[in-house]
Chain A
Amino acid sequence: MAGSTLASPTASAGREFSRGNEAASPGLETWRRFCRHRLAVASTVILAAMLLAVACGPFLWRVPINDIDFTAHLDGPSWAHPFGTDDLGQDLLARMLYGGRISLAVGLAAMLVAVTVGTAIGAAAGMARGSVDAALMWLTDLFLSLPPLPLLLLVIYLFREPLTQLVGPELGTFILIVAVIGGFRWMQVARLVRGQFLSLREKEFVEAARAVGMSSRRLVARHILPNSLGPIIVAGTIDVAAAIIAESTLSFLGLGFPPDIPTWGRILFDAKDYLDIAPHWALFAGGAIFLAVLSINFIGDGLRDALDPRSSA
């Protein structure tokens, strides 16, 4: 679809803007376009703060995550426990900082899996064309028509035990969840990359490089892939948000991480039975998921404006 539409008003405005400042590099111009999306900039700040909090927080807030204290059972927020406590009197701030690491790490890792698989399949289909392309796209369409959550649940149900025996419960669950979420989310990227490859491989600069005698592997690595990076980055950003939701959904259903790893979804799962007497428990965990996903989605929107000026949506 990109390429067929006319340049949007914002894009041409951006170009004139850069003409005024002779030295503006493409990277700088992209950054300027991103900055024009105020919600995206605000979201970047929020997400950076969340990342910083889960990365450094546990070193600053040194309350252990599994310190059981029945005198502080289901307490609301206070100075001793800023986010309150759960049914065992465990400090929720400490648990959320620790669990946030897992939730965000799963999101990023699953995105990497999805983008890698999608790029590989899309690139193979776009370069090979012919029957390989048809077969790979059939596979992509097949995966697109599979209901992801039931299959996630099925795969986790069948493979959890052996994998946890192999590498331990925490790492095993992490690998399984990342692989499965990534393994069911590569299709959009594959379609995007294939489309980009099909159009880019006919462009003059690629033809020129081919005429100089470049091998097709180098052609892909040096010319085609870098030029199709923009849409991949945008799709990857949205994938992080989707993966965080997917992981929290699994944990919320009680089928994700084991109870001693308090990811945000898991905290919500434990909190849902105490909704009437301790709503803070669910609200903090759910709010964290919502805030992370919302800011990632806004960043994705800002990146779309910045990297793909032709899309008008």
Chain B
Amino acid sequence: MGRYLLRRLLIAIPSLLGISLVLFAVLALAPGDPFGELASNPNVPPEVAAGLRAKFGLDDPVFLRYVRWLSAMLHGDWGFSFVSRTDVDSLIWQRLPATLLVIGSSQIVALLIALPVGVYSAMRRYSIFDQLANLWAFIGFSLPPFFTGLLFILLFSIYLDWLPFVFRSDLGASGWDWYWEEFKQALMPVAVLALFQAASWTRYVRSSVLEVIRLDYVTTARAKGLPERRVIVKHVLRNALIPVVTLVALQMPALFGGAIVTEQIFRIPGIGSLLISSILANDTPVIMAVTFVFACLVVLFNLIADLLYGWLDPRIAYR
């Protein structure tokens, strides 16, 4: 397992490099010049502008600039936010926990919905339950998160007045009340994301269980006289989950899109809303850094998926 993990880690490095290359290429190809204002400002003499350009290496070859940018990123020097007047990395560290909390708990909730529903629909294929679950799944992944969010706010905050619709990081309560308030305000964002994920996962689980359930070893397990429940949980599920993990890992990047929207609707102080506000404020260093962090998170979640593979299918780990 250790060597397998190491190999996976080494494979992650080229993809991180590739991502950084794409990001830098987008930035470098973009028209517009960070010193454009200086050049057009009559109060700045041209030789001062040229000196500044030389100092920051703006006229160097693209490759050199990429290496310099990358090494700065690796050293943890992510630049300085024009708007908040702080270092970008401290800004991101401040915002990251909220994002990870919402994404992580929504994944868990989605899993808790998708696994039982998917397995049960596969066991009762073409039953009423299966058809309803299928319809629900289609509705779930056709409802864009921003609309689900607004519907939830309309129903639970405005009509029923049960839940707050603005996420506050400065809750007045303390002790158990604090946890309760925190739970209440996280409920809707987590539910929005979980619904979106669970809908497509349900279909993955269902079709993958259907593939596995007709294999010979499952018949053997039944022939031994094992109760159906044990056959499903002990024998079918573990093998059925292998392709599900692949599909879930492939969907990870899309999940972050949903997370950005959810943070924006419920005003959660995470890196997604930070991205939107810095785009609206033209804060390029923050935009670049947040995009890079999202890309790193995708790679991280892919690593977790690889670990799950190793656990689900030990042959992969020892190959």
A residues sitting closer than 8 Å to B (CB atoms) are 39, 138, 141-142, 144-151, 153-155, 157-159, 161-162, 241, 245, 248-249, 252-255, 265, 268, 272, 275-276, 279, 282-283, 286, 289-290, 293-294, 297-298, 301, 312-313
Q: Please determine whether A158 and B30 come into contact, CB atoms closer than 8 angstroms.
A: yes
B-side interface mostly: helix
Q: Who on chain B is nearest to A285 by CB?
A: B147
CA distance A53 to B150 in the complex (A): 26
Chain B neighbourhood of A162, CB < 8 A:
31-32
Mark each residue of chain B from 208 to 238: 1 if its CB lies under 8 Å from any CB of chain A, else 0.
0011000000000000000000000000000
Mark each residue of chain B from 2 to 39: 1 if its CB lies under 8 Å from any CB of chain A, else 0.
00000000000001001100110011001110000000
Chain B neighbourhood of A241, CB < 8 A:
142
Mark each residue of chain B from 279 to 319: 1 if its CB lies under 8 Å from any CB of chain A, else 0.
11010000110110011011100100000000000000000
Chain A neighbourhood of B279, CB < 8 A:
153, 157, 255
CA distance A312 to B203 in the complex (A): 12
User: Knowing A158-B32, A275-B150 touch, does A148 contact B254 (C-beta < 8 A)?
Assistant: yes
Q: Please determine whether A293 and B144 come into contact, CB atoms closer than 8 angstroms.
A: yes
CA distance A312 to B125 in the complex (A): 12
Q: Please determine whether B144 and A147 come into contact, CB atoms closer than 8 angstroms.
A: no
Chain B neighbourhood of A145, CB < 8 A:
15, 19, 253, 295, 298-299, 302
Measured between C-beta atoms, what is the minimum distance from A292 to chain B in Å?
9
Mark each residue of chain B from 149 to 174: 1 if its CB lies under 8 Å from any CB of chain A, else 0.
01101100010000000000000000
| B66 is an interface residue with CB less than 8 A from chain A | no
CA distance A151 to B260 in the complex (A): 12
Q: Who on chain B is nearest to A293 by CB?
A: B142
Q: Please determine whether A290 and B253 come into contact, CB atoms closer than 8 angstroms.
A: no
CA distance A226 to B15 in the complex (A): 34
Given contacts A142-B22, A275-B153, A286-B146, 6 further A-B contacts (CB under 8 A): A153-B279, A158-B32, A253-B261, A268-B147, A282-B150, A313-B210
Q: Please determine whether B144 and A248 come into contact, CB atoms closer than 8 angstroms.
A: yes
CA distance A241 to B276 in the complex (A): 24
Chain A neighbourhood of B83, CB < 8 A:
none
Measured between C-beta atoms, what is the minimum distance from A171 to chain B in Å?
17
| B264 is an interface residue with CB less than 8 A from chain A | yes
Q: Please determine whether A148 and B158 come into contact, CB atoms closer than 8 angstroms.
A: no
Chain B neighbourhood of A252, CB < 8 A:
146, 261
Q: Please determine whether A146 and B257 come into contact, CB atoms closer than 8 angstroms.
A: no
Q: Who on chain A is nearest to B256 by CB?
A: A147
Q: Please determine whether A142 and B19 come into contact, CB atoms closer than 8 angstroms.
A: yes
| B67 is an interface residue with CB less than 8 A from chain A | no
Most A C-beta atoms less than 10 A away, residue of B22, B150, B210, B282: B150
Between A and B, 29 residue pairs with Cβ closer than 8 Å are: A39-B135, A142-B18, A144-B250, A145-B253, A146-B298, A147-B253, A147-B256, A147-B291, A147-B297, A148-B257, A150-B294, A153-B287, A154-B23, A157-B287, A158-B26, A158-B27, A161-B32, A265-B146, A268-B147, A275-B150, A275-B153, A276-B158, A286-B144, A290-B144, A290-B147, A297-B138, A301-B138, A312-B211, A313-B206
CA distance A116 to B280 in the complex (A): 33
Chain A neighbourhood of B80, CB < 8 A:
none
7 smallest beta-carbon distances between A and B, as pairs: A149-B257, A158-B30, A313-B207, A294-B142, A286-B147, A162-B31, A147-B294
Size category, B interface = 35 or more
Most A C-beta atoms less than 10 A away, residue of B138, B211, B288: B138
Chain A neighbourhood of B203, CB < 8 A:
313
Q: Please determine whether B276 and A268 come into contact, CB atoms closer than 8 angstroms.
A: no
Chain A neighbourhood of B23, CB < 8 A:
151, 154
Q: Please determine whether A146 and B295 come into contact, CB atoms closer than 8 angstroms.
A: yes
CA distance A150 to B22 in the complex (A): 13
| B275 is an interface residue with CB less than 8 A from chain A | yes
CA distance A145 to B18 in the complex (A): 10
| B141 is an interface residue with CB less than 8 A from chain A | yes
Measured between C-beta atoms, what is the minimum distance from A280 to chain B in Å?
11
Q: Please determine whether A149 and B256 come into contact, CB atoms closer than 8 angstroms.
A: yes
| B265 is an interface residue with CB less than 8 A from chain A | yes
Measured between C-beta atoms, what is the minimum distance from B151 to chain A in Å?
7
CA distance A245 to B210 in the complex (A): 30
Most B C-beta atoms less than 10 A away, residue of A146, A279, A294: A146
Q: Please determine whether B147 and A289 come into contact, CB atoms closer than 8 angstroms.
A: yes
Chain A neighbourhood of B30, CB < 8 A:
158-159
| B248 is an interface residue with CB less than 8 A from chain A | no
Q: Please determine whether B210 and A272 come into contact, CB atoms closer than 8 angstroms.
A: no
Q: Please determine whether B146 and A268 come into contact, CB atoms closer than 8 angstroms.
A: yes
Measured between C-beta atoms, what is the minimum distance from A196 to chain B in Å?
19
- Chain B contacts with A in 247-274, Cβ cutoff 8 A: 250, 253-254, 256-257, 260-261, 264-265
Q: Who on chain B is nearest to A144 by CB?
A: B250
| B115 is an interface residue with CB less than 8 A from chain A | no
Measured between C-beta atoms, what is the minimum distance from A23 to chain B in Å?
31
CA distance A213 to B302 in the complex (A): 46
Measured between C-beta atoms, what is the minimum distance from B265 to chain A in Å?
7
Q: Please determine whether A146 and B275 come into contact, CB atoms closer than 8 angstroms.
A: no
Q: Please determine whether A290 and B143 come into contact, CB atoms closer than 8 angstroms.
A: yes
Q: Who on chain B is nearest to A279 by CB?
A: B154
Q: Please determine whether B32 and A150 come into contact, CB atoms closer than 8 angstroms.
A: no
Chain A neighbourhood of B101, CB < 8 A:
none
